[in-house]
Structure 1
Amino acid sequence: MMVILFINSVKLFNSLLQISFSFTFSNIIPMAQAKNYTLAIVLITSLFFFWGFIHNLDPILIPHLRNAFSLSHFQASLVDSAVFIAYFLLAIPAGLIMKRFGYKAGIIVGLVLFAVGCFLFVPAANTVSYAFFLGALFVVACGLAILETAANPYITVLGDPSKATQRLNFAQSFNGLAAFVAPIIGGKYILTEEPKSADEIAALGEQARAAYIQAETSSVKGPYLILGLVILAITAVFVLTRLPDVKEDEQSQSTGVFRAFRHKNVTWAVIAQFFYVGAQVCVLSFLVMFATDVAGIAPAEAKYYSGAAGLAFMVGRFVGTFFMRYVAPTRLLFIYALVASALTLVAIYATGPVTLYAMVGIAFFMSIMFPTIFALGVEGIGADTKSASSLIVMSIVGGAVLPPLLGLVSGATGSFQLAYYVVLACFAVVALFAWNNSGKRIQEVSGGH
């Protein structure tokens, strides 16, 4: 049943991809180039779906492991830290791989690590070790870091530079589709319908407690094993497919990665992306815990709010991509950041289901933030594109830093809601990034290409 559901989800992704291309492809890439770039864009876009899928299993995995191992909010947040610290450590090596061997090599290496990490969930579950789970997540994230460092800039250079932001938002829309599908599948096959509380687990006898924890951890093996096999199949497709070899200006290729900071848009994008990713993780990864702790929703029902947030995230990206035909990306980013800030205040001060409606709304309005910040960060920088991509992907470490900060604030204040001032501050930085560039094209500093 789980295999059928996962396969149907992939079929849904393929159908939506074909429909979306038929309606929007002519708007994101000139027809003269379509023949050369169509297959490449389809394949690269599929990667956005798959890494979005595993990222959006985390909101299910976090409360599941929190229950199984009786973790605090801070300890549970280490799931995200294990994931996003890999982006900080692997982004520059990923850039070096791409500079030396090209985008395709980076994608293949990333996919292999992605699959290996998925397979490691099997021994992690068998050994009933939280540290092993964190290690498996770290390996997966190493693969994702390399994939994102390669795929994000690659899709921006496949076609008309003036359409790069739209093209990246379009591809990222399928990341949003994964954000909708993953919590539903994960909630069905990972979350226990009626998990025991920490006190109930502590009250069990030693053998009963060990059996319960083993059963809880074993439920993750199937989904991650299937995903690993699918990723291996995707890897084979990339190995056998010839992708366009996009060449940037070779001048300055031998210089250091940090040379890209000479472009103001790169510097601003690194800062904005750090805070945005931190906000996204705090909102989406903690949504199930927020629903149970703040709104008083049962875990079995809370997973549907996580799915609703994923749906809002997906719709937001498609809607945002459409609006970018008529509204400057930076202006739209500024508007979305302001609305997300207002909804965060609702989530902080409201009570009951209203707080969850606000969280779902936040998911909609933060949907365009990552691809828009990324595309603006690598805009028009020529030979520094791969280096800039590494730096912006490194800034995803915000997803490792800010969720534990939210957990610490929650513990210090005794309020999970008040801790979301951390998220409000993040959206303020994104709004500042957009405001500083609103209504004008980002210019390169003196000496740029």
Structure 2
Amino acid sequence: MSTENTANQYRRPFVTITLLFFLWGFITVMNDVLIPYLKESFSLTFFQASLVQFAFFGAFFCVSLIYYLVSLASGDPINRLGYKAGIIVALLICGAGCVLFYPAAEFQKYGFFLGALFLLATGVTLLQIAANPYAAILGKPETASSRLNLAQGVNSLGTTLAPIAGGLLLYKVFVTGDEVTIDSIKLPYVLYGALFVGLAVIVWKSHLPKFSNEEKVEGGMGALKFSHLRYGMIAIFMYVGGEVAIGSFLVNFIMDEAVMGLEESTAALYLAYYWGGAMIGRLCGAISLSDIASQSKKYGYMAVTAVVVFFVVYVVTAIRLDDGEFSMVFMTPAQILPFLLMIVLNFVAFIFGRGNAARALGVFSICLIVLLCLAAFTGGPIAFWAALGTGLFNSIMWSNIFTLAIKDLKQYTSQGSSLLVMMIVGGALVPPLMGKAADVFGIQLSFAVPIINYVYIAFYGFVGHKIVKSEIEAMKPVAEEIKV
């Protein structure tokens, strides 16, 4: 089969898979809107409110650990069940988790909400285990990082729209009377549940190429034999923990008088700049790591992409809904200038990355360390835009770490994928640490907590990702790794 025909064969399935990335990005970032909402409704401390992320991302660890143990005992479950069936089951579990928000609101029990989030995250975990390696193998191996960055870019579209849609639904559309109550949460999550079920039907009706691994995964340490995977697992932990912790407390950070002192409903809208920045970075990363030969064309496409996405974010964050009427309140060019400058800095970072996934990871980590120092130790608009700008540089980290960590694992690829997804538990553990720091030292100084995360990721980008040849050579030979 020709390369062109293979690309055409994979194009439609890849589009279907990117819909999954969009929806789980949307539902994950809804947690960032939920945290201040539930904090106020149940009169929680920052630490107690951070249990939202502990329940959600804790599910990633539990489910992935079970998946890993099952794969050691009886082979890869996704390989036996099939990617398509696995994805459908995962989507239905997500839908069930969303629907449980309705009785949770009826009983007005915080613990019930945490249980519903755990079930929802169980489905998202299974989606991650199946969809990330599936997107990576839908095409040429050398462009796997590019495809994952593109899929993550669509994921970021969901994360960009979620704060706006969630903020409008919770604070404006479904608000009861003049006050925000826990009842406002019911219908939005029933709607989200219906979307997951609808997508399950779409996947069921779609044709997805079948991939299977003919080699049985061996027992023992399995994928953990490879140091670049072990270091990559810690890097995923650090990345997810840092990104989730920042997103979790951004609304409260923006509300702080030392930063901007905005109202909660307005502050929630500015999450779109954080996640919109991630979308800019991921789409530009997909172009940067693609097989486009001309560097000038790459940079041209990246510049156009950044401008278009910025304009979309600029427009959607201007949306207001007051007394049932929509209005548009735009920032002035002077107010928006810091974010534009950070987009330029992001572009420069890509140039320094030279289209190399590992080098770009290291450069972006350094930029994040600088921005977090500004957010934690300055104040006003500088701290505000520095915190929002971290999304631009968090953008490529998942895709780059993931593809670097599973590189050359062959028959251990699915097992390695489940181990990496397990380390999303960083999103469960780092936010409570940051929440405790916010309770003790204040919300602004707590933004210094994730700095250590990006110091480690810089190490992985510059050193830890390197493959040890002796480990690869010791791997049992595989005649045919992937059969289509």
Q: TM-score range by the shorter chain?
A: 0.7 to 0.9
Matching residue of 2:429: 401
Q: How far apart, CA to CA, are the structure 2 residues paired with 1:238 and 1:214?
A: 40
- 5 Å-filtered alignment, 1:173-188, equals 173-188=153-168
Matching residue of 2:278: 313
Asked if 1:433 corresponds to 2:460, the answer is yes
Q: Post-superposition shift, 1:304?
A: 2.1
Q: Post-superposition shift, 1:214?
A: 9.9
- 5 Å-filtered alignment, 1:16-31, equals 30-31=3-4
Asked if 1:275 corresponds to 2:248, the answer is no
What amino acid maps onto 1:147 in structure 2?
L
Q: Post-superposition shift, 1:441?
A: 6.8
- 2:228–2:467 CA contact under 8 A, matched in 1: no
- 1:280–1:366 CA contact under 8 A, matched in 2: yes
| 1:134-156 superposed Cα distances (whole Å, 9 cap, x missing partner) | 11111100000000011011111
- 2:231–2:464 CA contact under 8 A, matched in 1: no
Match of 1:238 among 193, 196, 203: 203
Asked if 1:423 corresponds to 2:450, the answer is yes
Matching residue of 1:148: 128
Q: Post-superposition shift, 1:233?
A: 1.1
Cα gap change, 1:339/1:313 in structure 2, threshold over 3 Å: closer, same or farther? same
Cα gap change, 1:66/1:30 in structure 2, threshold over 3 Å: closer, same or farther? farther
Q: How far apart, CA to CA, are the structure 1 residues paired with 2:276 and 2:467?
A: 31
Q: Post-superposition shift, 1:240?
A: 2.6
Structure 1, unaligned runs of 5 or more: 1-28, 196-210
Count of aligned pairs: 401
What amino acid maps onto 1:363 in structure 2?
G
Asked if 1:133 corresponds to 2:98, the answer is no
**Greater Cα shift, 74-83 or 94-103:** 94-103
- 1:68–1:213 CA contact under 8 A, matched in 2: no
What amino acid maps onto 1:262 in structure 2?
K
What amino acid maps onto 2:252 in structure 1?
M
Q: Post-superposition shift, 1:215?
A: 5.7
Matching residue of 1:262: 225
Asked if 1:168 corresponds to 2:148, the answer is yes
Matching residue of 1:338: 366
What amino acid maps onto 1:429 in structure 2?
Y
Q: Post-superposition shift, 1:254?
A: 4.7
Match of 1:297 among 246, 255, 262: 262
| 1:163-217 superposed Cα distances (whole Å, 9 cap, x missing partner) | 1111111111011111110000011111369x9xxxxxxxxxxxxxxx9999611
What amino acid maps onto 1:416 in structure 2?
I
Secondary structure of the corresponding residue to residue 212 of structure 2: coil
- 5 Å-filtered alignment, 1:33-44, equals 33-44=6-17
Matching residue of 1:322: 287
Matching residue of 1:100: 80
Q: How far apart, CA to CA, are the structure 2 residues paired with 1:167 and 1:188?
A: 32
- 2:45–2:439 CA contact under 8 A, matched in 1: no
Q: How far apart, CA to CA, are the structure 2 residues paired with 1:39 and 1:359?
A: 37
Q: How far apart, CA to CA, are the structure 1 residues paired with 2:385 and 2:171?
A: 22
Q: How far apart, CA to CA, are the structure 2 residues paired with 1:215 and 1:384?
A: 49
| 1:306-335 superposed Cα distances (whole Å, 9 cap, x missing partner) | 111121111111112222245211111111
Cα gap change, 1:236/1:94 in structure 2, threshold over 3 Å: closer, same or farther? farther
- 2:143–2:289 CA contact under 8 A, matched in 1: no
Q: How far apart, CA to CA, are the structure 1 residues paired with 2:66 and 2:171?
A: 36
What amino acid maps onto 1:286 in structure 2?
F
Matching residue of 1:25: none
Q: How far apart, CA to CA, are the structure 2 residues paired with 1:330 and 1:309?
A: 23
Q: Post-superposition shift, 1:48?
A: 0.3
Q: TM-score, normalised by structure 1?
A: 0.85
What amino acid maps onto 1:373 in structure 2?
I
What amino acid maps onto 1:424 in structure 2?
I
Asked if 1:60 corresponds to 2:33, the answer is yes
Q: RMSD of the alignment, in Å? A: 2.2
| 1:229-258 superposed Cα distances (whole Å, 9 cap, x missing partner) | 11111111222323111123x3342535x4
What amino acid maps onto 2:250 in structure 1?
L
- 1:333–1:372 CA contact under 8 A, matched in 2: yes
- 1:264–1:445 CA contact under 8 A, matched in 2: no
What amino acid maps onto 1:69 in structure 2?
F
What amino acid maps onto 2:210 in structure 1?
D
Q: How far apart, CA to CA, are the structure 1 residues paired with 2:408 and 2:63?
A: 24
Q: How far apart, CA to CA, are the structure 1 residues paired with 2:453 and 2:92?
A: 33
Cα gap change, 1:252/1:214 in structure 2, threshold over 3 Å: closer, same or farther? farther
Q: Post-superposition shift, 1:410?
A: 2.4
Asked if 1:366 corresponds to 2:360, the answer is no
Match of 1:76 among 46, 49, 56: 49
Q: How far apart, CA to CA, are the structure 2 residues paired with 1:347 and 1:327?
A: 29
Q: How far apart, CA to CA, are the structure 1 residues paired with 2:212 and 2:200?
A: 23
Secondary structure of the corresponding residue to residue 380 of structure 1: coil
Q: How far apart, CA to CA, are the structure 1 residues paired with 2:172 and 2:450?
A: 29
Q: How far apart, CA to CA, are the structure 1 residues paired with 2:396 and 2:90?
A: 24
Matching residue of 1:251: 215
Cα gap change, 1:357/1:236 in structure 2, threshold over 3 Å: closer, same or farther? same
Q: How far apart, CA to CA, are the structure 2 residues paired with 1:123 and 1:301?
A: 28
| 1:356-395 superposed Cα distances (whole Å, 9 cap, x missing partner) | 2001111111110011111111112111011001100000
Q: How far apart, CA to CA, are the structure 2 residues paired with 1:31 and 1:167?
A: 16
Secondary structure of the corresponding residue to residue 57 of structure 1: helix
What amino acid maps onto 2:439 in structure 1?
G
- 5 Å-filtered alignment, 1:42-53, equals 42-53=15-26
Secondary structure of the corresponding residue to residue 220 of structure 1: helix
What amino acid maps onto 2:232 in structure 1?
A
Matching residue of 2:349: none
Q: How far apart, CA to CA, are the structure 1 residues paired with 2:400 and 2:241?
A: 16
- 2:239–2:397 CA contact under 8 A, matched in 1: yes
Q: TM-score, normalised by structure 2?
A: 0.79
Cα gap change, 1:329/1:406 in structure 2, threshold over 3 Å: closer, same or farther? same
Percentage of pairs with the same residue: 36
Matching residue of 1:391: 419
- 1:128–1:213 CA contact under 8 A, matched in 2: no
- 2:96–2:120 CA contact under 8 A, matched in 1: yes
Structure 2, unaligned runs of 5 or more: 69-75, 291-353, 478-484
Q: How far apart, CA to CA, are the structure 2 residues paired with 1:284 and 1:176?
A: 13
Match of 1:227 among 192, 195, 205: 192
Cα gap change, 1:172/1:442 in structure 2, threshold over 3 Å: closer, same or farther? farther
Matching residue of 1:288: 251
- 1:287–1:306 CA contact under 8 A, matched in 2: yes
